[in-house]
């Protein structure tokens, strides 16, 4: 059995750069048509779309949309259906900007509710809205693959980023409930929980001493690169994982074991 992804339509939020762009390239390399969603980086999205079309011979559609804005999401889904007439795979990768800086993070007694709300909107609301409007099209096909991004910090908060981690915990619980509801329609819902991924915009201020500690406690002996996370997404979207739903797969080189 191969991955059987050729011809599928894969939409990846926040995919003009970083892990999202790595997802886009990995799915394109397997023959998927790609929807590159971005918020601000139009030039990067256009360059990536052109690259993937030329290298892999697939169709790529860059679309600007704020996934926390319901009208934007409706427009995004409408454009995808108009172009491709289907949505097979959704990777919810977008989030509000967050810098992982352990020396400047807020302590528990310093975090304001607004901090939590911003991350909940970015992680949970954006994921919820995108899924809300993609699910009806998946139900019509009796097929769908939804992949939501969380973090290994849910299991091992080496740095307690309270607002970020709490929002990602909500995404995991939401995903489990979604999986319970959608299985009857042939739709699977799973999460990927990466550890620190470098280089990305979010990890650029991670101190060398923090990275050294993580490397020392990681059996595979290094920090993840964006392309290290993509194989799990391909697996979850493929026929190999057709009987896998409601799961969270940790991708951190063994730093977290459960």
C-alpha distance from residue 114 to each of 109, 118, 120, 126, 178 (Å): 13, 6, 10, 17, 26
CB-CB neighbours of 176 under 10 Å = 16
Q: What are phi and psi of 105, to 5 degrees?
A: -65, 160
Check if 164 is active-site: yes
Q: Give the ranges where 40-192 is alpha helix by DSSP (H).
A: 42-56, 70-84, 113-120, 126-141, 162-182
Q: Which of 38, 56, 161, 164 is catalytic?
A: 164
Separation between Cα atoms, residue 229 and residue 140, nearest integer Å? 30
Q: Give the ranges where the chain is alpha helix by DSSP (H).
A: 18-29, 42-56, 70-84, 113-120, 126-141, 162-182, 208-216, 226-237
Contact 118, 96 (CB under 8 A): yes
Two tokens at 31?
A: 């023959």
CB-CB neighbours of 150 under 10 Å = 25
**Residues with catalytic function:** 164
């Amino acid at each position: 059995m191969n991955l059987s992804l050729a011809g599928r339509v894969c939409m990846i939020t926040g995919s003009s750069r970083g892990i999202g762009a790595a997802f886009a390239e990995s799915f394109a390399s397997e023959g998927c048509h790609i929807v590159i969603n971005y918020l601000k980086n139009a030039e990067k999205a256009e360059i990536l779309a052109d690259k993937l079309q030329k290298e892999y011979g697939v169709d790529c559609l860059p679309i600007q949309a704020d996934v926390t804005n319901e009208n934007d999401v409706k427009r995004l889904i409408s454009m995808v259906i108009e172009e491709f007439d289907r949505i097979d795979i959704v990777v919810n990768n977008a989030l509000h900007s967050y810098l992982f800086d352990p020396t400047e993070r807020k302590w528990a007694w310093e975090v304001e509710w607004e901090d939590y709300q911003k991350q909940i909107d970015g992680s949970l609301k954006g994921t919820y809205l995108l899924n809300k409007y993609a699910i009806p099209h998946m139900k019509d096909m009796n097929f769908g693959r939804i992949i939501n991004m969380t973090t290994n910090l849910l299991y091992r908060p080496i740095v307690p980023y309270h607002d970020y981690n709490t929002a990602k915990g909500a995404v995991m619980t939401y995903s489990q409930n979604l999986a319970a509801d959608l299985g009857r329609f042939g739709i699977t819902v799973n999460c990927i929980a990466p550890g620190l991924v470098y280089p990305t915009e979010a990890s650029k201020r991670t101190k060398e001493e923090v990275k050294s500690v993580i490397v020392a406690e990681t059996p595979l002996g290094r920090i993840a690169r964006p392309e290290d996370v993509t194989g799990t997404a391909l697996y979850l979207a493929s026929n190999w994982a057709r009987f896998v739903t409601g799961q969270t797969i940790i991708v951190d080189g063994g730093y977290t074991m459960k």
